[in-house]
Amino acid sequence: MKYDITMAYPKPTNDSPVSLTPLSILYAGALFESQGKKVAYYDARFDSDEMLEDLIINSKEIAVSAFTGYQTGQAADILIKAKKINPDIITGVGGYHAQIFPDEVLAEEFVDKVYKEKVYGEDLFPYNEITKHHYERTEMQYFTSRGCPHQCTFCALKSLWLPKDIKDIEYELNTLHKDIPFTEVSFSDPNMTFGNYFDKDENKTHRMDRVQRIKDIGKILNKLGVKWDGNLRTPYLTKEMVEALEESGCYSLEVGCESGNDYFLKKIIKKGHGVQAIKDAVLNVSKANFSVMYSFMAQMPRETHEMLMDTLDLIDWIVETDPNARISIYTYAPYPPGPMYDDAINGANGYPKFVPPTTMKGWSELKLMASPIYWIAGLNFRMDNTKRNFPGDDWKLIEPYVELAKKKWKERDIYEFPCDEVEKLIQNQLDKKRDL
């Protein structure tokens, strides 16, 4: 069968057991389908190399979607293979990396075009008989909104918040659930309940009640018997919001705390709140029937060792206060544009000057976000992922590293850890699962 375009989803990570619906290629594919194009879909997490080769031979174009880091290298491998097998095929790159580095991506010898706009089909419902398979074999992912207008200095994803109409959410989730009786869904919105949004048709700004929004979404999910996880900002976690989250079927939240130092949060990151907002949120959710993953960053420009220690101390307080707390600490990854990226490039306050790679392969070779502190925190406070990766007797493989991580956390010895050994162990576990 011949295709106008193959949408390819490269492996996004080599250490996570989570396999969410590849919406980045499904949305764009829906747009191309609406233009009358014949579209094929390939997911490197599940589909064979033989399938990819066949699609390359029979497609006029192949497009990959990639996030900066590991996935860009995987995307490059797919396009290099495409050009080798079918020199006449048109190769394209979309997704976050192409949006922030369009010129560099286009300069790659294996890339013919770049999809550099932020939106490709996100206003469509990318579900039909062709894409159904990609929903069935993955953990259900869905967006109830898109965009986040907050001005955090480390973030490159600033854009208007656009909530999906609640009637559309109801129709789409009901349609999916009728065909695929899923019991859980991940809402991957950057900011589920910002509140203010601009209506282009009415040419005015509306104010949305955050708590009511969660209640409305919860009514839809409760009828379906579906639980959900998503992302919220800590100041939103009032007692009223926590109650609405419990009633809505929320079982897990991720909140971006970033730092445990008040000055750094307010003056450097410009998060829009301080440490007290984080503590208030923790107190409000500490007895809730859902768990929270508190996400932090470390080793950022202008962050001192003392500020980082404040973060670790706050994490200890969170774990003591909220028994169900999960914690991640990511090393700051310099993504343009933004003030913190400029600080990284210029080596502000002694920060090691960041020299950005100029190729997709180069970005994939950086240890973005993962570092000794990432693994030390993860093996202390992310037992959910660790136990999924090492079930049963396999726990013996990772146990020595878990004990080492506990020791290092207690001693605040966070700058050295056998990261490569842990990454290799996890990769072997994931490969073993795929072979089953």
The string of pLDDT tens digits covering residues 357-392 is: 999 999 998 876 668 999 999 999 999 889 999 999
For the stretch 312-326, pLDDT in tens is 999 999 999 998 899
Measured between alpha carbons, how far is residue 279 from residues 241, 242, 257, 323, 329 in Å? 15, 14, 10, 14, 17
Among candidates 277, 286, 228, 227, which has minimal Cα distance to 256?
277
Q: Which of 235, 45, 209 is nearest to 150 (CA)?
A: 235
* Residue 215 near residue 203 (C-beta atoms within 8 A): no
Q: What is the pLDDT of residue 366?
A: 83
pLDDT 10s digits, 60-94: 999 999 999 899 999 999 999 999 999 999 999 99
Residue 27 has pLDDT above 90, yes or no: yes
**If you average pLDDT over residues 181-209, what whole number do you get?**
85
**What is the structure's pLDDT at 369?**
64
- The C-alpha atoms of residue 395 and residue 417 are separated, in whole angstroms, by 19
pLDDT at 72: 96
For residue 179, pLDDT beyond 90: yes
Averaged pLDDT for residues 136-150: 92
- In which band, very low, low, confident or very high, does the pLDDT at 164 lie, cut at 50, 70 and 90? very high
Helix ranges restricted to H, 101-209: 102-106, 132-136, 166-179
| C-alpha span between 183 and 318 (Å, rounded) | 29
Q: How far apart are the first and last CA of the chain?
A: 30
Residue range 164-168: average pLDDT?
A: 96
Segment 287-317, tens digit of pLDDT: 999 999 999 999 999 999 999 999 999 999 9
| 171 Cβ contact partners less than 8 Å away, ≥ 6 residues apart | none
Identify the pLDDT of residue 382: 94
* Whether pLDDT at 108 is above 90: yes
Task: Give the pLDDT confidence score for residue 15 in this predicted structure.
Answer: 66
Tell me the pLDDT of the chain averaged across its residues: 93
